[in-house]
Amino acid sequence: MTNPADFPYATHLDVKFAPLAIVDVPALVAQCKDRWYNQTLCKVNDSVIRLGVMQGEYHWHKHDEDDEFFFVLEGHFIIDLEDRSIDLQPLEGFVVPRGVVHRTRAPERAVILMAETAAIIPTGDS
């Protein structure tokens, strides 16, 4: 199992916004100074919505029990799979099914939303 501390990403798993609160994405994006930032925004049933502000490359990994949905708000975001790359532009999304090895990267700063189970380990299971 991977350890989130082994990777240089700013990963915040705390829920930033409670139910009935306005989720202010632009304010979080404006404050972000990290090259790879991941913040849990809110919890919806057994899932979470996370904000990613990213530039650069994430490591190859997979999630054995969880699907992941990526939705681009700003910028250009690429999801590399073992046999192809998915090139996402603003307002496009893609689901990576559980068990699929993948790597995400952003050639320039990108802002994305992710929907996944609250139990997922962002850096992967292996």
CATH code, domain with 91:
2.60.120.10
Is 125 a member of any domain? no
CA distance 114 to 48: 8
Is 126 a member of any domain? no
The percent of residues above 70 in pLDDT, for the chain, comes to: 90
This prediction has a pTM of 0.88
- Total domains in the chain come to 1
User: pLDDT digit string (tens) for 29-38?
Assistant: 999 998 889 9
| Dihedral (Cα; 34, 59, 42, 115), 10-degree rounding | 140
Residues 6+ apart with CB under 8 A from 43: 15, 118
Is 124 a member of any domain? no
User: pLDDT digit string (tens) for 65-108?
Assistant: 999 999 999 999 999 999 999 999 999 999 999 999 999 999 99
